[in-house]
Amino acid sequence: MAERSRRQLKKNQDLERILCLEKERARLRTVRKILKKPCESRTDEEAQILLDAPHLVSQIEGNSVRLKCLKDRAQEIIDEEDILSTKCAELVKAMKESSYTVVYTGAGISTSADIPDYRGPDGVWTLLQKGKEISLTDLSTAEPTFTHMALKKLHKERIIHHIVSQNCDGLHVRSGLPKSALSELHGNMFIEVCPKCKPLKQYIRLFDVTEKTSLHRHKTGRFCKKCNSELNDTIVHFGEKGTLPWPMNWKGAVKAVEKADLIICLGTSLKVLRRYPGLWRTDQPHNKRPKLYIVNLQWTPKDTQATLKIHGKCDDVMKKVMSVFGICVPAYEKEKDPIFQLATPLLLDEVSTTTKLLLTKSELDIKEIPSISSDSIESPEQAQNKLKAELENISNSQDLGDYLKSKPDLQPCIRLLDITSAESLIKLNAEKLDAITYFIKSEVAQIEKPKLMGWYGKGCAKWKKSNRKRASSCKRQKTEVVDSTL
């Protein structure tokens, strides 16, 4: 009997607490509604309600100030043309005076390559927070931007010395920047590594290796040729720690920052980078830290510490900077993209592990290939057999080159297999020829709508998690209400 009354008492208390909370919420809503009205149109009764609830008034006013501040920070600002030019000249002066310059890059340097940024108005993170769908582009089709090429050139000229990037798009590597001058803190979508082999064994691929991976799931479905362990991607998602020596190269980054007297931040909100104390020499007094120049359209948490903040698009700023320096920036040439030399081709039994598009040296647009193949070649096997037959008949590479040129019907086969020189073709044995047909197979394979995995999972995983948490806490609250009203 006593037990029952105790339970009843607790239930009554809970119910009272919930009703009280509900009453407070209703009051908050009323106060908020009154505050939205201009002072002169409030009735005496409404004015009295405000006077009776000063804590609610200050809470609502505080919230609206915070909201406005957040909105202002998300605003993209672009400096006037003449201001931008003056600021760029100032940046060049600082670069000339500096003895060791480190550049931090973020998604903003890749937006002109049609890769969405994170926190811009149409950024992946912004859209996910609003619950909107994000458009998924295949990042393999992106190419290094003017900024990537300018940075590579500046490194070659020894004007900048190290680049720390948060981008996973691999475009710094593809611009030709040497590995030792780069720290890809959040990984590279073209690299998979063996978790067992020491020293670290990297496999650079010509396609996005993150197709099957997501938060805490890094296995790519391919295996190490040396120890047969399943390979991992190198992407560091929110809530994970990047511990791989490469491509993160934390050692190189920290060493560079220690020597630096100038840090230039390009197209990054710094919301993640600011959390890495090793990058800011926070253990030293302010006057001993490197000078900070920031190029970003939106607010960053380091703005107050910056010597100069430039509100401009990275490509626009870098074009001005390079013209002040008087340095010509070579355009990106696919033929010279180092990834083709660095990449490990897939073996025949690995072909089915990916449906992603492959990077090709060929000038031919990837999207055009299926139409050519359907017109001229019935199947990948047919293309392969045709070329095999040519290999058997002709032993001299010169002859083969001339012969292939004289046979227009074979051109689609060659282009499809991306064999550009006859010499490389003659070196191929049948097994290698088998292996390279994975290119055709992936083209022929049904390309499904990409799921929110891999590289994009970086933002989405966290968003989904927070949504799940919210949903479960709502459910819990509802259950509590039902329980207590029973």
Q: Which two tokens stand for residue 335?
A: 């033929």
Please pick, among 186, 218, 237, 311, the residue that the annotation labels catalytic: 186
Q: Is 224 annotated as a binding residue?
A: yes
Residue 230 C-beta: closest distance to Zn ion, Å: 10
Consult the annotation and say whether 474 binds a ligand: no
Q: Which residue's CB is nearer to Zn ion, number 226 or number 469?
A: 226
Binding positions for Zn ion, rule: CB under 5 A: 194, 196-197, 224, 226-227, 229
Contact predicate 71/300, CB 8 Å: no
The end-to-end CA distance of the chain, in Å, is: 18
3-state secondary structure labels for all residues of 255-291: HHHHHCCEEEEECCCCCCHHHCHHHCCCCCCHHHCCE
113, 171 contact by CB (below 8 A) = yes
Nearer to Zn ion, 191 or 322 (CB): 191
Contact 220, 187 (CB under 8 A): no
Tokens standing for residue 268: 């990054």
CB of 344 to Zn ion, least distance (A): 13
Minimum distance, C-beta of residue 347 to Zn ion, in the bound complex (Å): 15
- Give the list of residues 6+ apart from residue 235 with CB closer than 8 angstroms, or none: 168, 186, 187, 189, 210, 213, 218, 454, 455, 457, 458
Residue 330 has φ and ψ, to the nearest 5°, of -70, 140
Least Å distance between CB 248 and Zn ion? 18
Q: Does 460 count as an annotated binding residue?
A: no
- Tell me the closest approach of the beta carbon of residue 225 to Zn ion, in angstroms: 8
Instruction: Residue 259: name the closest of 104, 148, 98 by CA.
Output: 98
Of 194 and 460, nearer to Zn ion (C-beta) is 194
Q: Is 197 annotated as a binding residue?
A: yes
Report the nearest approach of Zn ion to the CB of residue 246 (Å): 14
**Minimum distance from residue 349 beta carbon to Zn ion (Å):** 17
Distance between CA 277 and CA 240 in Å, rounded? Answer: 17
Which one, 42 or 196, has the nearer CB to Zn ion? 196
Nearer to Zn ion, 106 or 247 (CB): 247
Q: In this complex, which beta carbon is closest to Zn ion, that of residue 228 or of residue 304?
A: 228
Q: Check the CA dihedral 139-162-126-131 and report its sign.
A: positive
Q: How many CB atoms lie within 10 A of CB 35?
A: 16
> Which residues have CB under 8 Å from 128's CB, separation 6+?
134, 459, 460, 463
| Extended beta strands in 139-241, E state | 162-165, 182-184, 191-193, 202-204, 219-223, 230-233
The count of residues in the chain is 486
State yes or no: is 186 an active-site residue: yes
Q: Which is nearer to Zn ion, 66 or 226 (CB)?
A: 226
Q: DSSP states of 386-418 as a string?
A: HHHHHHHH---HHHHHHHHHT-GGGHHHHHHHT
* Binding residue ranges: 194, 197, 224, 227
Residues marked active site are found at: 186
Binding site, annotated residues for Zn(2+): 194, 197, 224, 227
